Structure 1
Amino acid sequence: MTSENNRPDADILIVGGGLSGTLLAVQLLRLPGQRRIVIVEPRPELGRGEAYSATELGHTLNGNAARMGVEPDDPEDLTRWLGEFITAGGWPESDEQHVPVAELFPPRGIFGLYVQQRLAQARTLGETYGSTVEHVRSEATDMQADDTGVRITLADGRGLSGYFGVLATGMFAAARTPQRDASALNAAAVDPWDVDAMRQLDPQGRVLIIGSGLTMVDAVVSLERAGHRGPIDVFSRHGLLPHVRRQPPAWPDFLGADHSVRSTRQLVRALREQCEQAIAQGIDWQAPLDTVRVHIPRLWSQATDRQRRQFVRHVRPWWESHHHRSPPPSAKLLERLVEEGRLKIHAASLQNVYDKAAGQVRISVRYRGEDQPTEVSGAALINSTGIQYDWRRVDKALPKQLLARGLIQPGPLALGIAADAGGAVLDAQGQVSSRLFAMGPPLRGMWWESTAVTDVALQAKALAARLAAR
């Protein structure tokens, strides 16, 4: 689709209108200069995506307001906005957390409103420069790119063209993403965030959950909201639960002062020493841990493939449970259910999912330390295995076509896709694209932590400047 004078439909085509794509549009609209931005997003609203379309108040951010602002140069932006929102009567339930606004863990749906308001403000500013943003409500199913620009094919057969394209596809939630090797699990499972579907379950029935990370936490919250009061069995390889996120005092940036820490082994040893020092001083061990995050992109990018594999194989489960922590309200719910004996965590790996029979779902798991699998049955099954970062396993049209055309290649350890330091995508031959870029979760393999709000906000600002300069 091009205009009569062969001008492309957009200067910048953004695939994905969740947090990543919306924040990129915000930053582009704020920059002087006239540009046309088109965002391809199948959802009815921009700014929400997978994570912030949640409607249940119990599905909260896993970081407090002071940590989750979308303005890289103004860390208090969300705190101020949330305070005004609460004062206007927008979230009366906030009183239940009994903490100052900066320490509140807001519902993800409300955070989505915050992102949308920042987009609305940026639109107004962009109009003064002659810039526009258009939401094309459809799914991108194919893409072509060359030295002249990019062309996108939509699900309804329409085409869009642009000078530049950006893959801001966000996260592929395993529970909601067709996968080539997990079709049986998803076919038998209940959506972790679908409270209405959970209301149809036997409230006293046994629920089986695969995975013990933050998606599992959301699933348990959903079950509680749906009125479920039966037993819940959680199965994961290591049997680790996310720690609860607390608000520790400031701790010296020990990695900033010592760049000799480079390997996984050195990082774990140094961090353990710092945590032991904190505990000895009566300080929460999360204080030293929270200083590490800002250095992860540097440490990951300078690590060898062997060191990265060692981290993923040996450290990742503990990193995830310690770093990606549960919001306090959700953690209190899990603690109560464990104390009541309703929630049990099992160190076991899923072996098979059987066809439903007599209203029961059956699976087989192999418990840690055992050689033979054990069959387990329940009234419902939930897939809480988290995020699928390997694009080769995602059974969706666009990732498949991008790989088939050789426009992209898997990122390090097959996490996301490969790109240069500024987000320019690498094709199958390793050539850096001059027209196609990526940001956010697709760059997981490049930076390891590329999913949090602060990560995405920083990438959006840097990529917007790069695109505007070109």
Structure 2
Amino acid sequence: MDAALDQPVSGTIREADIVVIGGGLSGAILAAQLMRLPGRREVLVVEPRSELGRGEAYSAVELGHTLNGNAARMSVDPDNADDLTQWLAEFIEAGGWPESDRQHVPVSELFPPRGMFGLYVQQRLAEARAAGARDGSVAEHVRGEAVDVQTRDDSVRVTLADGRVLQGRFAVLATGMFAAARTPQTESSGVNATALDPWDVTAMRQLDPQSTVLIIGSGLTMVDAVVSLEQAGHRGPIEVFSRHGLLPHVRRQPPAWVDFLAEDHDLRSPLQLMRALREQCRQAQAQGIDWQAPLDTVRAHIGRLWNQASDVQRRQFVRHVRPWWESHHHRSPPLSAQLVARLHGEGRLRIQAASFKGLVPASGGSVGISIRRRGETALTVVQGAALINSSGIEYDWRRVALALPQQLLARGLVQPGPLALGIAARADGAVLDVHGEPATRLFAMGPPLRGMWWESTAVRDVASQAKALAARLVELQTQKNSD
């Protein structure tokens, strides 16, 4: 038992069966699953934003910021892969997205705007709430920021920034992703204090349209940043710097390919996987089939392969393979990729393989950065009118300078996951404390479990985890009720 729980707590303690910390995609899908299961329960979802279901990724308001997966890949219902396609077809028919015809593809192959996807998640949550209400269940949005968690034998206590206290028989860390561009870090380089938000089109409209913009990182966040600049009317040079100089490939719709991993269980290490995958891609291309077809069969097996790999094998994968895996596997939506390709072809956008080394003083209101180009030892100073941090996601909780992750680590309630990716947990989501002991009442799902499953951020992965965790929580709730 945490000794601090014996101290008086100011204010009223709000009690519930389950407290979900985070109301973005992960928290909303989990709440929906809990509402649809038999039985009566009260769920409190802690989320500082005004709406559930959007979180960091799906609060975007610009139509140009689309999902990087087509509708057929993005269902929040793990039992119905066509759920988003069906919702989207009805939404379009009702006049909700007249611009959809510009993509000239079937509904299942559309890449909807992220804000629209957030609306879809909200509607599915609303439907689940209505279904749960018939059994007396409720999922309530508690607007606020969780800053501390304490556990004891019979409950978990969650403290909010304004001093309110929630107490649940169980609690779930559904904190989502910490976007590097928007996350304060314990060892700050000062970049975020200087840089523009990659999704803030309004701020970009204040730039001289012909000015030079510097971007750190060349992944999907960079693609979003380029889309933002285009929509803001920027027409000047864009200089992109990343260690390997790799761009995300464009996502295509390849034909079905045999699930070769299901037929070969001897593949156990990341190195074996990459060798086999290269061979499968060569076979596909020899038959005139898109190399993305074999690659897309791997997703269903990533968690198993990553989980059974040794730390040495995982470290080798992250160090040597990860950049190429990310650029091939996390692909860009077609319209965004077309924009990047056009700007690159015009010479307006340049991709350079270089490491960011820090900010440097600059004059005249410009921004200066120090870089080291690949193959060179000397540092080079580059200046522009603005800087954008597109370095992706911060998965190491030790580097996230926010109250909740820091408190959880300080209390020893969680420990860093494998390779410091997220936090450690059992397969059922029960978090492991600093001593490696599994919690009985504190669980996690989604991006915090990156170190366990590697791919723990995509909609399909989150939806599957939500279904399994909801069933586990209801099972534990039933057991406690019968004790």
What range describes the TM-score normalised by the shorter chain of this pair?
Answer: over 0.9
Q: CA deviation at 1:357?
A: 3.2
Among candidates 168, 181, 197, match of residue 191 of structure 1: 197
> 8 Å contact 2:13–2:166 — kept in the other structure?
no
Match of 1:97 in 2: 103
1:467 aligns with 2:444: no
1:31 aligns with 2:37: yes
Match of 2:247 in 1: 241
The TM-score with structure 2 as length reference comes to: 0.96
1:347 aligns with 2:353: yes
Give the secondary-structure state (helix, strand or coil) at the position aligned to 1:434: strand
Q: CA deviation at 1:282?
A: 0.2
Q: How does 1:249-288 map to 2 (within 5 A)?
A: 249-288=255-294
Give the secondary-structure state (helix, strand or coil) at the position aligned to 1:249: coil
1:313 is matched by which residue type in structure 2?
A: R
Q: How does 1:9-28 map to 2 (within 5 A)?
A: 9-28=15-34
> 8 Å contact 1:69–1:77 — kept in the other structure?
yes
> 8 Å contact 2:13–2:164 — kept in the other structure?
no
2:173 is matched by which residue type in structure 1?
A: L
Give the secondary-structure state (helix, strand or coil) at the position aligned to 1:144: strand
1:38 is matched by which residue type in structure 2?
A: L
1:291 aligns with 2:292: no
> 8 Å contact 1:60–1:106 — kept in the other structure?
yes
> 8 Å contact 1:188–1:356 — kept in the other structure?
no
Give the secondary-structure state (helix, strand or coil) at the position aligned to 1:277: helix
The TM-score with structure 1 as length reference comes to: 0.98
Give the secondary-structure state (helix, strand or coil) at the position aligned to 2:170: strand
Q: Is there any run of 5+ residues in structure 2 with no aligned partner, and where?
A: 477-483
Match of 1:450 in 2: 456
2:387 is matched by which residue type in structure 1?
A: L
**CA 1:7–1:40 in 2, change beyond 3 Å: closer, same or farther?**
closer
> 8 Å contact 1:13–1:162 — kept in the other structure?
yes
Q: CA deviation at 1:9?
A: 1.2
2:128 is matched by which residue type in structure 1?
A: A
1:387 is matched by which residue type in structure 2?
A: I
Give the secondary-structure state (helix, strand or coil) at the position aligned to 2:431: strand
Q: Distance in 2 between matches of 1:129 and 1:276?
A: 54
> 8 Å contact 1:179–1:393 — kept in the other structure?
yes
Match of 2:125 in 1: 119
Give the secondary-structure state (helix, strand or coil) at the position aligned to 2:208: coil
Q: Is there any run of 5+ residues in structure 1 with no aligned partner, and where?
A: none
1:132 aligns with 2:138: yes
Q: Percent identity?
A: 74
Q: CA deviation at 1:191?
A: 0.2
Q: CA deviation at 1:435?
A: 0.5
Q: CA deviation at 1:369?
A: 0.4
Among candidates 230, 238, 246, match of residue 236 of structure 2: 230
Match of 2:481 in 1: none
Q: Distance in 2 between matches of 1:126 and 1:35?
A: 9
Q: CA deviation at 1:181?
A: 2.3
What count of residue pairs does the alignment treat as equivalent?
468
Match of 2:382 in 1: 376
Give the secondary-structure state (helix, strand or coil) at the position aligned to 1:392: helix
Q: CA deviation at 1:356?
A: 5.1
Q: How does 1:62-211 map to 2 (within 5 A)?
A: 62-211=68-217
Among candidates 50, 54, 71, match of residue 48 of structure 1: 54
Q: Distance in 2 between matches of 1:334 and 1:276?
A: 27
1:434 aligns with 2:440: yes
Q: Distance in 2 between matches of 1:329 and 1:180?
A: 36
Give the secondary-structure state (helix, strand or coil) at the position aligned to 2:381: strand
Give the secondary-structure state (helix, strand or coil) at the position aligned to 2:166: strand
2:239 is matched by which residue type in structure 1?
A: D
Match of 2:309 in 1: 303
1:141 is matched by which residue type in structure 2?
A: V
Match of 2:480 in 1: none
> 8 Å contact 1:8–1:163 — kept in the other structure?
no
Q: Mean alpha-carbon deviation: is it higher for 395-404 or for 147-156?
A: 147-156
Among candidates 402, 405, 409, match of residue 399 of structure 1: 405
Q: Distance in 1 between matches of 2:346 and 2:186?
A: 38
Q: Distance in 2 between matches of 1:38 and 1:357?
A: 50
